[in-house]
Amino acid sequence: MKLKHLALVCVVALAACSLDPVYQRPAAPIAGAWPNGPAYGTASAPSAASGAATPVAAEVGWRDFYRDPHLQKLIALALDNNRDLRVAALQVAEYEAQYRITRAALAPSIDATGALSNARSDGTITRSSSVSVGTTSWEIDFFGRLQSLKRQALENFLSTDASRVSTQLSLVATVATDYLQLRADQAMLKITTDTAAADQRTYDLTVAMQKIGSASLQDVREAQTSLASAKASVASYTRAVAQDRNTLAAQIGCALPDDLDSGPTLFDGDAMFADIGAGVPADLLARRPDIEAAEHALKAANANVGAARAAFFPKIELTATAGTASTGLTQLFKAGTGAWTFAPSITMPIFDYGSNKASLDVARIEKDIDVADYEKAIQTAFKEVANALAGRETYVTQVDADREYVQSAQDYYDIAQARYRTGTDSFLTLLTAQRTLYTAQQQLVTDQLSKLSNLVTLYKVLGGGWSERADDASQAGEARHASGQS
């Protein structure tokens, strides 16, 4: 009796064993703090890094960060209709179904079978019928192979789900960036339209002055050249605005809202975004879905090593049925017609020409690759955040300088225009002032776009954009942290 109990304990222990390597998260190959220096200002100072003054990006919903109602509407439409996000969601469903298939292999499959046979031989007709219920080729997972495959499928599912979230973050940021590009090109279209109108007035004035001998034919041709160039720029930015609208329509997957053009201009953008804190580099491990996806892929590879190890051990399968069998349907369920089968089998690998060893080597190499991918994802995230933090401070200084440049260029142009009208200065002086103003205005638009786009990037690379509101972000973050510890 004791021997039977000992055998039962051994069977249970074997069935519960796992040949997976003990998983240890690789050390993050990054510094413990963000870079500091003149480019960063207070962006990486302790108060900002701790997030005491402002919430970290991952805890700020996209409706809380993007304050422009027009942009909020575009993002909501994109999340509902974007095809890339739809594909990502379907891939998650596919891997979830694959996980359920793998998990089902741990339990026996019970089938019911009925058979009726009639045969004639040498003038004799033989009839037989049977009904049975049982399982066919159920693998008893003594060495954890199926458990390892189940864990691998689960981690693949979780990795795909994290990739879906990463796709959502990218989509939210892309819609915001495309929206800002539209506002920038609209600003440039207004500048070029105003410049073309000013060039037209200057050309008309120069022609009139040439008729009375106050301007030369060369002045007229230079004014005409400047006007033609401005008209070409108007056409260029008219096309750019139309293309920006087409790009946005493709991103949101439907027609653009009718009130889109009534939204704020590019230079109202400072009020379009909420302030966010950077946190500390270690936070990226829990807040970046691409890093989470890479770690789940690593865990899947770790489980695959366990499955490859289990291939070296015997594989035990069980076939068992119970039912009735008789020579006629009327006798099928009568006494004495019972039938059963019990057929365990064991397959022991003896010689496979190194196939199992090669499979284990492949699994280990794939795990090493996933370790490198995980470390690379962390390093990439650190670089992206550091670059965005550097941009947050320096773009503010740059745009402030651009505003001074535009104001000075505007004063220069106003003086040159007045002096040209009175004949004090030549047309060349006016043309130089006009080009200086146009260049300054272009530079201001370009740098303002870069400044706002950098805020979008900072929000994204810090893990922001996976929830609509702050409360949702907090709950989602807790759930994702729990899944990451599974």
Q: Residue 137 has what pLDDT?
A: 74
pLDDT tens per residue across span 230-262? 999 999 999 999 999 999 999 999 999 999 988
Q: Residue 6 has what pLDDT?
A: 47
For residues 179 and 182, what is the distance between their CA atoms, to the nearest angstrom?
5
Cα 98 to chain centroid, rounded: 22
Mean pLDDT for the stretch of residues 18-32: 89
Candidates 291, 305, 296, 300; CA nearest to 365 is 305
Residue 161 pLDDT greater than 90, yes or no: yes
User: Best-predicted range by mean pLDDT among 54-63, 321-330, 382-391?
Assistant: 382-391
Q: Residue 103 has what pLDDT?
A: 86
Mean pLDDT for the stretch of residues 274-287: 86
Q: Residue 1 has what pLDDT?
A: 45
Residue 376 pLDDT greater than 80, yes or no: yes
Instruction: Please give the share of the chain, as a percent, with pLDDT higher than 70.
Output: 82
Residue 50 pLDDT greater than 60, yes or no: no
Report whether 217 contacts 210 (CB < 8 A). Answer: yes
pLDDT tens per residue across span 180-217? 999 999 999 999 999 999 989 988 988 988 888 888 89
For residues 189 and 155, what is the distance between their CA atoms, to the nearest angstrom?
50
**Residue 23 or 317, more confident:** 23
- Where exactly are the structural domains of the chain? 17-106+141-313+349-484
Report whether 21 contacts 302 (CB < 8 A). Answer: yes
pTM of the model: 0.84
Q: Residue 425 has what pLDDT?
A: 84
Residue 158 pLDDT greater than 90, yes or no: yes
pLDDT tens per residue across span 400-448? 999 999 999 999 999 998 998 888 888 888 889 999 999 999 999 999 9
Mean pLDDT for the stretch of residues 98-115: 79
Q: Phi-psi region for residue 144, left (φ > 0), alpha (ψ -120 to 50) or beta?
A: left
Q: Residue 51 has what pLDDT?
A: 40
Q: Residue 46 has what pLDDT?
A: 41
For residues 445 and 269, what is the distance between their CA atoms, to the nearest angstrom?
12
Residue 16 pLDDT greater than 80, yes or no: no
For residue 347, name the pLDDT band (cuts at 50, 70, 90).
confident
Q: Residue 319 has what pLDDT?
A: 78
Task: Enter the DSSP assignment of 56.
Answer: B
For residue 107, name the pLDDT band (cuts at 50, 70, 90).
confident
CA distances to 120, 169, 183, 380 from 395, rounded to whole Å, are: 94, 23, 18, 22
Candidates 384, 385, 376; CA nearest to 280 is 385
CATH class of the 17-106+141-313+349-484 domain in this structure? mainly alpha
Instruction: Please give the share of the chain, as a percent, with pLDDT higher than 90.
Output: 48
Q: Residue 328 has what pLDDT?
A: 55
Candidates 288, 269, 243; CA nearest to 71 is 269
For residues 444 and 134, what is the distance between their CA atoms, to the nearest angstrom?
77
